[in-house]
Amino acid sequence: MAFDWRSLTPEQIEAQFNPRMSVPDFQPHFDAYVARSAAARAAIGGDCDLRYGPGPLQTYDLHRPKPPKPGAALIVLVHGGYWRGLDKNTMTFAAPLFLDAGAVVVNLNYDLCPQVTLDAIVRQMQQALAHLARKAAGWGADPARLHVIGHSAGAHLAAMMAAAPWPAGLGPQPAIASLGLVSGIYDLAPVLQVSVNESIRLDAAMAARNSVMQFPPRIAGPVLVAAGGAEPEGWQAQSTDFHAACRAAGTRAEMMLVPGADHFTIKFAAADSAHPLGAALLRQVGP
């Protein structure tokens, strides 16, 4: 039976759809993201804060494997933070997983709510996709092997990069070879009822046009949808329902429920080649 969030009290909705409520001791995880990412940057180097657009945070870090691998995959990492917080410096620790496999890795930033709207962030993601596809060959990457991986709100944005209506002014839409969607949110109607919307500032119309659950991506390659077994039932349902929607749309989608993982620890699993989630993401990207 589908999860019926509309029958819940406001307090229960908050507990289901505000990850910081479900993991009250979340700050040590954020601190670990930053510390591990700083260590990774020191180890792997790269070109940081390159620009793909005029917005203050429309930047990315570029990491290339050593030695270069001709025709490498291009991995795009998209951070979470409920579209209102965090940045790419909390995602860098995932880059070595793919660099070690010979891929070129881009770690993407974007402007945040309430300084911009979610509509504007989705447009920035599309600008980034067009920019990165143009640049890929110059970095030794194959633009036909462009894979997008996101966590939380970043998973929503990754899905929207593939599924949202493409703006005419950006040229042809680049094809996405695969999506790795970790602990994402895809139906935005519940967000209207959660306290974080004071910063996100969604209204019903904006939530509807950004609810990728209603128009799941139809890409040729695979989509991995993952959620943590320790996440609230409502948040898990976002992933299980989205997986079902992808399958119904004809997309080759796989669902992975990670036992014991909460909304924040699942990110470490996604960066670990020895963990089934990290290994699945590597397999999806290919050799």
pLDDT above 70 (res 40): yes
The CA–CA distances, whole Å, from 91 to 68, 94, 235, 267 equal: 22, 6, 21, 9
For strand 178-182 and strand 223-228, is the pairing parallel, antiparallel, or unpaired?
parallel
Q: How many CB atoms are located within 10 Å of the residue 140 CB?
A: 16
Residue listed under structure tokens 């306290």 = 195
* Assigned CATH for 23-285: 3.40.50.1820
Per-residue pLDDT, averaged over 234-242, amounts to 97
What's the Cα-to-Cα distance from 17 to each of 214, 254, 259, rounded to whole Å? 19, 23, 19
Residue 220, beta-bridge partner list: none
- pLDDT single digits (tens) 47-101: 999 999 999 999 999 999 998 888 999 999 999 999 999 999 999 999 999 999 9
Runs of H (alpha helix) within the chain: 10-17, 19-22, 27-44, 95-99, 118-135, 153-163, 197-200, 204-209, 233-248, 266-270, 276-285
Measured between alpha carbons, how far is 130 from 258 in angstroms, rounded to an integer?
A: 32
Neighbouring C-beta atoms of residue 275, cutoff 10 Å? 17
From edge to edge, which strands make up the β-sheet containing 253-258?
A: 47-51, 59-63, 104-108, 72-78, 141-151, 178-182, 223-228, 253-258
Whole-number Å distance between alpha carbons of 284 and 269: 15
pLDDT number for residue 24: 82
106 bridge partner residues: 62, 76
What's the DSSP call for residue 49? E
Q: Are the C-beta atoms of 84 and 198 separated by less than 8 Å? A: no
Q: C-alpha 33: how far from its chain's center?
A: 15
- The pLDDT value recorded for residue 74 is 98
At residue 75, φ and ψ (nearest 5 deg) are -100, 130
Residue 272 has a pLDDT of 97
Q: In this predicted structure, which of 16-30, 54-68, 147-161 has the lowest mean pLDDT?
A: 16-30
> CA-to-CA distance for 139 and 131, rounded, in angstroms?
13
What tokens does 22 get? 């479900």
Q: Which pLDDT belongs to residue 60?
A: 98
Report whether pLDDT(1) > 70: no
pLDDT one-digit tens code per residue, 24-36:
888 999 999 999 9
